[in-house]
Structure 1
Amino acid sequence: MGIAMILDMAASATPDRLAMGGRVDGTTYRQLDEISWGGAGVLERLGARHVVFIGVNGPILPILMFATARAGVPLAPLNYRLPADQLRELINRLDEPIVVADDAYADKLAGTDHRIVTSAEFLAMARTAERATEDRSREDETAIVLFTSGTTSAPKGVVLRHRHLLSYLLNTVEFASASEENATLVSTPPYHIAGLGAVLSNIYAGRRMVHLPDFSPRKWLDLVREESVSSAMVVPTMLARIVEHLDGALANVPSLTSLAYGGARMPQPVLEKALDAFPGTGFVNAYGLTETSSTIAVLGPEDHREAYADPALRHRLSSTGRIVPGMEAQIRAEDDVTVLPDGETGLLWVRGAQVSGEYMGKGSVLDADGWFPTRDRGRIDDGFLYIGGRADDTIIRGGENIAPAEIEDVLVQHEQVREVAVVGLADDEWGERICAVIVPNGTDHDDSEAFRDWCRERLRGSRTPDDVVFVDELPRTPTGKIVRRDLVGRITAAA
């Protein structure tokens, strides 16, 4: 039994209901089922051992998810924003992969030794191909491989087996719970666990999926109105841009009953403005990790409105809510063993059937009792989970993980830089800002904009520091390691 069972159930229960697309020209559950069976047949004949997808979120993703499941091969969506050489390196780590890529990204892979099929070509073949001979998905087999963005080391391939994904669904989503009028707007990327989880949870609930591959606040609001969207999920940066676009006006989206957010820390000022702009919408904060098959804690609509209405409970808006059914959570001390009492901050460990904790080529990192170290710092207070930041030094800017070392390695090459440390600072729009703290070689040096230009010319735009600060020395431990917490404290106090 694998995740293809989800589509089997939906196609059997509501074959003529729209599964995805617009109300006029959408695809029904019966059609999605038939196309995915044809796609599985295509993969059988091509001899794929892995299927890589490089493209934006759209109708091709559900088709690939269920086609690969039925063909018994893992799906590995990659970040289409990565440079060509990094994409090729990740593809080469997979066993006998076939690449399905949108036209806009197929050219980036020129020179690869693996077969490339455009999304349009795969869809055309799947519509006319003979069905696969059988459903080869098995609960203990790998369904998805998602590569982490990496910190100071190479990205790790997180292994999600069919049983992990099914456990998440069965514990958190009610089958066929959506009405025929319900529609969800999907704008999260396909290489993120939230994008994949959206496919499974909405198919299982029987909810029509509407896709927005290129986000802008105006497009998002227009599509919600045009398609009478009832639910959506955004990352904090998206919500910040929507709030800024509204500029104090009401959103005027009467159909939108649920708006979920996650992927990074939500700045409370942004959330409060959003609650005012969407008075008839229930907000949901969903916290999870790739290794946990998506959501492990939820702050629901009633929690949001209750906390917003009561100043004594306002702090709960900064929490991620309560642990979902089927999951357990512990806060442990730095020794990774001692369990801390409620209210104390430490390292978050979680356990449950949906938790993978397994990496391609590296095996499992679960402890002897099945607990997974999230590497997030947090505390549990009155049943609510509060996340206090990453245990490592990763900066999460706009939902994207950024390794400080990547920026430091560029800045240290500047002749005027003696030492440098890159840290994340709290930001209302992006979740975190990138701040480069530089110890210059002398008193005469370029201004901060010149150092930002230096980075911009050598890195992707999202890696350019938002701020550059000059100091006389960096705080270090006796062994020479930079104490980033102290550095952030000093910068924040000075500001």
Structure 2
Amino acid sequence: MNISMILDMAVSAGERPVITVDDRSLSAADLLGQARRAAARFGQYPAVLYLGANHLAYPVALFGAALAGVPFVPLNYRLGDQQLTALIDRHPGALVLRPEDLDELVAGDAAEAPEIEAPWDGDAVAVIIYTSGTTSEPKAALLRHRHLMAYLLNTVDFGAAEEGAASLVAVPTYHIAGLTNLMSNLYSGRRVVYMSAFDAAEWLATVRRERITHAMVVPTMLARIVAAVDGADANVPTLASLSYGGARTPRPVLEHALRVFPSTGFVNAYGLTETASSVAVLGPDDHRDAFGSDDPAVRDRLGSVGRSLPGIEIQIRSETDEVIGAGETGLVFVRGEQISGEYGGRSALDAEGWFPTRDLGRLDADGYLFIEGRADDTIIRGGENIAPAEIEDVLLEHPGITEVAVIGVPDPEWGQRLVAVVVVADGAAPIDPEELRTWVKDRLRSSKTPDAIVFRPELPKSETGKLLRRNLVAEMESSHA
């Protein structure tokens, strides 16, 4: 098994554009030929490191590495020189593809490519993706060919896309969603349209110009797109599906998006790098049913990540490693063929193949999964474990707030004090901190009421929209002291 089989299957489906970047497109045959040319070069290296943005060279490098039987390693090219050098140094002798090398990689004649037989070893490492490192040093997550193919075979129907279907991809190349979006779209038969840099207005214009039918964004992108919509309707009649994920999406942003994209089906996808993409999905019908429901339990599902995908099992466990029932919050574990859970040769799977996501969550009686934050984010105040997400959700219900992060700072009496860092909506009137404290106290209880409210113009986030909670903690610990 080798992920390059996706290209062979795409070629068999006919001659049509499968990748578009700016004003240039490649057919499946062109892409396969360019990948074979690249593989002939890549075979002498132990790995291929990709340091560029979305480009025609990205799929060529990915499949070229697969054909050559060497790992493909997309790196965060936005990192500082010192951080990037440290990651490159972890791969001595590897070929490094920098932005200035990418045009050359796709400049040759695909028709002159040599015939190359892909190594058929499902256990070989296909891709190495470095975790974002929002709370620690990045770890090298290994994804083998069998993990990536298991995701595709279990969740995507080959060639099922309608003629003319096109998917807009704006997520970074070094994000698991960037990788699996490429693979799943090629497999399903949708043309992939790349944006090399995200801009909300340009995103909307591209959807209209390229007649995009499917798209995937991270929450910060979704918020900017919604803000850029001029009027009550986004006016994107071809957009059938809009998938979002990669980080927590504020409920007001999602509800606004559902209003301005009335004919678009929304999909919330939950997964990790270590799980080779999504393991749970909240589909379009779920969104519509929840958004239009008067039943609080059904409407709350807008805040869930949906139910497990085929081939995936989910467990919620207590801190003593016991499986707990519906409605109880605990640690989220997942199991399935696509789950890697491996870091540089060290497996994080338990004896029965379960992977600890390190997320806190709960399952409702119908199997909907609610993620309540990272286990490491839990605040212990006066001996009580407090999940920041519960307080954040209550604060986000306030009409003047667009974003919020609740963190704990050291306190000699209580162990930790609760600090809510709040972003006020543009044009909203100033908010009295005591008003927000009362808002929370009336809906939760005094032990979960923030001790302090801090206002900021924005929250620190990674390029993929993940809240950099550690940055806030460090800043607030310093200012609090």
TM-score under structure 1 length normalisation: 0.77
- 1:81 partner letter: R
Shift of 1:287: 0.4
Q: 2:315 matched to 1:330?
A: yes
2:17 aligns with: 18
Shift of 1:120: 1.6
Secondary structure class of the residue paired with 2:157: coil
Spell out, residue by residue over 1:295-345, the C-alpha distance to the aligned partner (whole angstroms, 9 max, x if none): 00000000001100013121110000010000000000012x200001100
Q: 2:67 matched to 1:70?
A: yes
- 1:99 partner letter: V
Q: 1:121 to 1:214 in 2, by over 3 A?
A: same
Q: 2:301 matched to 1:319?
A: no
- 2:258 partner letter: L
Q: 1:97 to 1:471 in 2, by over 3 A?
A: closer
- 1:33 partner letter: L
Residue in structure 2 matching 1:221, options 196, 204, 208: 204
Give, in whole Å, the separation in 1 of the partners of 2:42 and 2:418: 45
Spell out, residue by residue over 1:92-131, the C-alpha distance to the aligned partner (whole angstroms, 9 max, x if none): 112421001113xxxxxxxxxxxxxx11222235748642
1:339 aligns with: 323
Shift of 1:388: 0.2
- 1:380 partner letter: L
Runs in 1 of length 4+ with deviation above 4 angstroms? 22-25, 125-130, 419-429, 461-474
Residue in structure 2 matching 1:351, options 310, 335, 339: 335
1:440 aligns with: none
Which segments of 5 or more consecutive residues in structure 1 lack a partner in the other structure? Answer: 104-117, 397-401, 409-418, 430-447, 453-460, 475-495
Q: 1:102 to 1:132 in 2, by over 3 A?
A: farther
Q: 1:272 to 1:122 in 2, by over 3 A?
A: same
Query: Which 10-residue stretch deviates more, 464-473 or 382-391?
Result: 464-473
Shift of 1:350: 0.3
1:282 aligns with: 265
Shift of 1:8: 0.6
Give, in whole Å, the separation in 2 of the partners of 1:18 and 1:344: 48
Spell out, residue by residue over 1:336-388, the C-alpha distance to the aligned partner (whole angstroms, 9 max, x if none): x2000011000000000000010015x10100000000000000002100000
Q: 1:466 to 1:379 in 2, by over 3 A?
A: closer
Give, in whole Å, the separation in 2 of the partners of 1:449 and 1:267: 17
Spell out the pairing of 1:415-426 with structure 2 (5 A cutoff).
none
Q: 1:427 to 1:129 in 2, by over 3 A?
A: farther
- 2:326 partner letter: D
Query: Which 10-residue stretch deviates more, 321-330 or 207-216?
Result: 207-216
Residue in structure 2 matching 1:365, options 348, 361, 372: 348
Secondary structure class of the residue paired with 1:21: strand
Residue in structure 1 matching 2:52, options 33, 51, 55: 55
2:99 aligns with: 102
Spell out, residue by residue over 1:73-108, the C-alpha distance to the aligned partner (whole angstroms, 9 max, x if none): 0001011110111111111112421001113xxxxx
- 1:17 partner letter: R
TM-score under structure 2 length normalisation: 0.79
- 1:215 partner letter: F
1:386 aligns with: 370
Residue in structure 2 matching 1:184, options 146, 167, 175: 167
Shift of 1:179: 2.1
Residue in structure 2 matching 1:201, options 168, 179, 184: 184
Spell out the pairing of 1:255-294 with structure 2 (5 A cutoff).
255-294=238-277
Query: Which 10-residue stretch deviates more, 151-160 or 68-77?
Result: 151-160
Secondary structure class of the residue paired with 2:106: helix
Shift of 1:17: 1.5
- 2:299 partner letter: R
Give, in whole Å, the separation in 2 of the partners of 1:132 and 1:155: 37
- 2:210 partner letter: E
CA contact under 8 A between 2:125 and 2:145: conserved in structure 1?
yes
Q: RMSD value over aligned CA atoms?
A: 3.2
Q: 1:393 to 1:132 in 2, by over 3 A?
A: farther
Aligned residues: 410
Shift of 1:54: 0.5
CA contact under 8 A between 2:21 and 2:56: conserved in structure 1?
no
Give, in whole Å, the separation in 1 of the partners of 2:125 and 2:116: 20
Q: 2:72 matched to 1:89?
A: no
Q: 1:149 to 1:424 in 2, by over 3 A?
A: farther
Shift of 1:153: 3.8
Query: Which 10-residue stretch deviates more, 16-25 or 317-326?
Result: 16-25
Spell out, residue by residue over 1:423-461, the C-alpha distance to the aligned partner (whole angstroms, 9 max, x if none): 8857699xxxxxxxxxxxxxxxxxx999x9xxxxxxxx9
Shift of 1:471: 10
Secondary structure class of the residue paired with 1:119: helix
1:7 aligns with: 7
Shift of 1:468: 6.7
- 1:170 partner letter: L
CA contact under 8 A between 2:331 and 2:356: conserved in structure 1?
yes
Shift of 1:246: 1.6
Give, in whole Å, the separation in 1 of the partners of 2:45 and 2:23: 35
Give, in whole Å, the separation in 1 of the partners of 2:5 and 2:122: 11
1:113 aligns with: none
Shift of 1:148: 1.0
- 2:317 partner letter: R
Which segments of 5 or more consecutive residues in structure 2 lack a partner in the other structure? Answer: 379-387, 390-404, 410-414, 426-453, 459-466
- 2:27 partner letter: T
Query: Which 10-residue stretch deviates more, 167-176 or 153-162?
Result: 153-162
CA contact under 8 A between 2:56 and 2:106: conserved in structure 1?
no
Q: 2:34 matched to 1:35?
A: yes
